[in-house]
Amino acid sequence: MMQSRFRPELYAIDFGTTNSLLAAAGKSGVHPPIELDDAAPDPTIMRTVLYFPSAERCLYGARAIAEYSASGMQGRLIRSIKKHLPSRSFIGTYIEDRPMNLEDLIGAFLGELRARANRFFDADVRRPVLGRPARFAPAPEDDEHGGSTAGTRAAAGADPSSSRSSAALPRRSGPRGVASKLSAASCLRLREA
Q: Is residue 111 in some structural domain?
A: yes
Which residue intervals of 87-135 are DSSP H helices? 102-121
Q: Is residue 1 in some structural domain?
A: no
Note the pLDDT of residue 134: 58
Q: Which domain covers residue 98, as residue numbers?
A: 10-180
Note the pLDDT of residue 95: 93
Amino acid identity of residue 41, one-letter, is P
Q: Is residue 96 in some structural domain?
A: yes
Q: Is residue 31 in some structural domain?
A: yes
Cβ–Cβ < 8 Å for 78, 107: no
Tens digit of each residue's pLDDT, the chain (193 residues)? 444 589 999 999 999 999 999 999 999 999 999 999 999 999 999 999 999 999 999 999 999 999 999 999 999 999 999 888 888 788 889 999 999 999 899 999 999 999 999 999 999 999 999 876 656 566 666 555 433 444 545 555 554 444 333 444 443 444 344 333 332 222 222 222 2
CATH value at residue 138: 3.30.420.40
Cβ–Cβ < 8 Å for 179, 132: yes
Q: Is residue 193 in some structural domain?
A: no
Q: How far is CA 13 from CA 97, 114, 130, 160, in A?
A: 31, 9, 5, 17
Note the pLDDT of residue 91: 82
Note the pLDDT of residue 33: 97
Q: Is residue 189 in some structural domain?
A: no
Partners of residue 21 on adjacent β-strands: 14
Q: Of the candidates 79, 46, 49, which has an alpha carbon nearest to the alpha carbon of residue 64?
A: 49
Cβ–Cβ < 8 Å for 76, 100: no
Q: Is residue 117 in some structural domain?
A: yes
Q: Of the candidates 26, 25, 46, which has an alpha carbon nearest to the alpha carbon of residue 37?
A: 46
Amino acid identity of residue 69, one-letter, is S
Note the pLDDT of residue 86: 82
Taking every pair of Cα atoms in the chain, the longest distance, rounded to a whole number of angstroms, is 59
Q: pTM (2 decimals)?
A: 0.74
Q: Is residue 190 in some structural domain?
A: no
Note the pLDDT of residue 141: 63
Note the pLDDT of residue 84: 85
- The structural domain count of the chain equals 1
